[in-house]
Amino acid sequence: MTPLALTDAEAAYGETRVLGPLSLALAPGERIALVGKSGAGKSTLLALMYEQWQQREVALMPQALGLVDTLSVFHNVYMGRLDRHPWWRNLITLMRPRRSDIADIEALLEGLDIADKCWIPCGELSGGQRQRVAAARVLYQRGQVLLADEPVSALDGPQAASVMQALADGYPTAVLAMHDLDLALRYCTRVIGIQAGEIAIDQPSQRLSVHDLQPLY
């Protein structure tokens, strides 16, 4: 896979520029953590990447998650691979899922500790459970790159760590907006600090400590 790049990317709301211009490249096997104050431009940067990298198979996990509340957990996860099947197969799955699909998805849910919710509509889940369903969906999708916005913000310590581990295993190449600096350093290979729409820090995570990132906040 060739590197993914942004060149002189910028974003504006009306007249005011909120981001950039900035350039960065994402090498295969590199996981970038985007850190910075809320409103610094992390989500905007992720949206820009998603637009720029049209040609790649990008898996997206937005902050609002994009779950369909009326569909079951199974179907929400299945939606990660809608593009691999013809429409009639998807239609049948909506009414009568295949056994092999159920087995695959249940195994995934097992790993995220929500297998018991497989047939519950997403609207009935708690915030943390919803976040794990969205994680299961991108894992099931098996794209080339993951773009995730605060993927574990609603999860507590050990659960957040296990979901981060699962995402890291599933997506060697990823960009994740993070607010938990410990997790960011532990599960990402590179950290980019955003301040007022510009790159303030860009370092491999081995060279950084939480203390180094404090000035961003």
Q: Which of residues 53-72 bind another protein (CB under 8 A)?
A: 54, 57-62, 64-71
The separation between the first and the last C-alpha atoms of the chain, rounded to the nearest angstrom, is 35
Smallest separation, CB 140 to another protein (Å): 10
Coil/strand/helix, residue 99: helix
Positions in 180-199 near another protein (CB under 8 A)? none
Least distance to another protein, CB of residue 68, Å:
5
Binding mask 121-150 for another protein (x = CB under 8 A): ----------------x---x-x-------
HSE-CB at 70 with a 13 A cutoff on CA atoms is: 1
C-alpha pair distances (Å), 113 with each of 132, 138, 162: 9, 16, 10
Amino acid at 101: D
Distance of closest approach, residue 27 Cβ to another protein, in angstroms: 22
- Quickly count: other Cβ atoms within 10 Å of residue 71's Cβ: 16
Site for another protein in 85-124 (CB under 8 A): 85-87, 90-91, 94
Count of residues near another protein by CB under 8 A: 31
Q: Which run of H or of E encompasses 109? A: helix 99-111
Please report where in the chains the tokens 């018991």 appear, as a residue. Answer: 116
Q: What is the smallest separation between the CB atom of 118 and another protein, expressed in angstroms?
A: 17
Is the Cβ of residue 55 or residue 214 nearer to another protein in the bound state? 55
- Cis before residue 172, ω within 30 degrees of 0? no
Contact residues toward another protein (CB under 8 A) are 54, 57-62, 64-71, 75, 79-87, 90-91, 94, 137, 141, 143
